[in-house]
Structure 1
Amino acid sequence: MFERIRGQTKNEYVEVYTNDDDSDTESVIESKKQKILDTTEVKSEHSLAYEAVPPLLVSVAGLMSAGWLLDVVQYWPVFTKVTELFVLVPVLLNLKGNLEMNLASRLSTLSNLGELDKPSVRYALVWGNLAVLQVQSLIVGAVAGLFSFLEGVVFHSDHVSTFHESILVIVASMVCAALSSMILGTFMCVLIILCRRFRINPDNIACPMASSLGDLLTLIILATCGEILLQYLHTYVSTAMFLILAASIPLWVRFVWSNPTVHDLLVSGWSPLFMAMVIASMAGLVLERYIEHYNGLALLTPVLNGIAGNLGSIYASRISTRLHSGEEENYRHSEIVLFLIHIPIEIVFLIFAWWFDIGHVNLSWSFSITYLFVSIICVAFTLFLSKMLTLWLWHNEYDPDNYSLPYITAIVDVVGTGLLAFSYWGLSEIGLHVENHIKKPHH
């Protein structure tokens, strides 16, 4: 059952799940109140910088690896033959990232409220959320694959597509989504439980880790699965795999429905996922059009969008936890800290990319300054959007843990990709972006 427990500083309540056998005892109620009161220490704004910077740096490494991998696999046979995969990449990364970040945000809130402290409740919540993740990943994988294929056909009528190509895109998307969700979902659950044990606020860590590692893992599985399926393109191997994956969905649904802690998630939170897919597809069209024209776009796009999206997810997750616990978030302090820490992270990324010549990026002074300016605009917009959208959802009785992150990341993907492509175009018009005025050091 769910109990309403008073928060710390306001006459507001939060709902927490409890077992029937302990819901009537006064000591348990007092214990749960104390758990909410104890979250003040782990959610202090003073811990935001030093807790958020390490996972953000790890996320940059993951995003750079994902960008480098995309720059490599774009020349693989499966990507050159089935070009709809370029449209699928940002759509699938957005949908998959949203699933795992929603999971991270939900469990972070439950962790800060003390709901993962009791083994029986923790077991039900963790396994239930992992099962929900499988249902969501299989469905959004199928929809993303079909949507990307149809979008590619509509906007590229000169390319003759076949049934076998369409089913390859859908199956690769479903396999990729399900397998990466299983691996990354398990990792996120373990990470959040460890954060609680060591009194680290998972709001500052979980979402960036889910986003960056998820992108890299998803790209690896998608490219590998696509290459394998391409070998059997004109057979019915992909069709058989699709039928098997589709048949597994009702089994996962039945398992989730039998778990009272998570069965409500089967019918809630779907609309933002698919709205985000439609929004993110615009970024996919931009990426598909310009990825071959501008060197380094494949590397810079996931890094720019990823850093901004991670900062927005941290901010939204913190606000959501505070709203659930009835506490006030120090908006100004959090915004300043998150905005300032992104600048040195972007500079470190540019230096690293230039020094090791990653992703065919021609980093002149003019381009580097332009990129930093674009990133500042993107992050400022993201933080503003995260606060306004999360508060609006809460005041309209939508749980921000399930609704805010898909919209935030999708809009950031479109804005970031558009700004980056526009900056490439602007610099190319004045002939600056192709010039590298920096002498690389001799190693």
Structure 2
Amino acid sequence: MTRRLKYVPISLLLFAAFLPQSLARQSISIKVNADVDISVDIFTPTNKPDGKLFIWQPHEKGLQNPDFQLAQQLADMGIEVWLLDLLQAYFLSNTASNMSTLNGDGFNKLIAAAHKTGKTIIVGGSGRGIVPVLRGLRDWQLANKDHSRFAGAVLLSPKFYTQTPEPGTPVVLLPIVKATNSRLFILQPDKSPYFWQLKRSVDALQKTGSDVFVKTLRGVRDRFYFRADAFAKEQQASNSLARDLSNAIKLLSIQQDNFRQAVVSLSKATNVPAKKKERGLEIYRGDPTPRPLNLPKLNGDFIDLKSLTGKVVIVNFWATWCPPCVHEMPSMQRLNNHFKNKPFTLLGVNMAETNAEVAKFLKTKVDISFPIVMDYDGRALKDWGVFAFPTSYVIDKRGKIRYALFGSVEWDNADIVSKIERLINE
């Protein structure tokens, strides 16, 4: 049975824990200010409660059916869950840029209300949803001296960076990352651009005092638990996600700090672009000398980028699990065919997959003739500063990077063909 209340005083929150199982889920409203009320679905434990309360802000794509399923599964494990959608509360559409504009007021109020229940509090967020969670946590820490019942935050596929940088430009951490001091448990898929930035993220969090625990979710992509195109391993990981969240919550709850000093200074927030930029070959802005690249093909023969001097080379970092990478491959082959009698070649660099995975993909999914080399441990990816998939670099006949882009394009469009021709004719 579901109760829907326009506004409920905090005293009712205390009463919620004692509702019978038939009233195990209800909706309440937390007032942020005169214009904003946050609607919260409360899932009270159907088994013996363990005294933990988990506040969950979903991904910037908005509340999904799996979020409700996760909340119910956690409640079945004895954990009370408060499920909400801050974007809905602020009447904003489901975008990363909107999520990044939210200050900490809403989540601060949620933590304050939860703290009055006397339970051990853990907060959590997914994707860009971690931004208002961390901002609200910091605001609450600054305003309160008693942190004894706060255990920490669980961050699923967290997006700690302002935006995907253009190739050759540095990545920029969100200011709140450098102003967070808490106990954190990160659940990080390894088929994600953020996986390769994980050390940088953890180092920044630890520098301001955070205790950081990490579990790598093997073989899955960001948003795996609500993707329409989820493959078998992602479906398995989705089935295990409630258990992973429960384990993270239990680990964080082993120890709570009576007081943890919040970071007072916070640099000005950097806006996340509201619209995606139309992709195209852009002049490369980094060091034009490429990093060494000497990797094996599937048959074990190595290709050294230096051996291709005298040709225009497109180095393309890609993966079989990356839909944009797969989408652009036919046009790359058409470009390769167009310049087949010219000093030109494409070189695909597969990112940290196995020979078996890549061989099966090349046999069943695409028809290409340009060479593929294997970056088994992701070292080349990190050396080249690759952040997004796919990322491509255009190298001239003298061995200098001239153009680059991240994201997929139609490689045989007139603009790209013209730019490649000019490089060939230099």
* Shorter-chain TM-score range: under 0.3
Which structure is higher in RCO with an 8 Å CA cutoff and minimum separation 6?
A: 1
| Larger of the two Rg values belongs to structure | 2
Higher helix share: 1
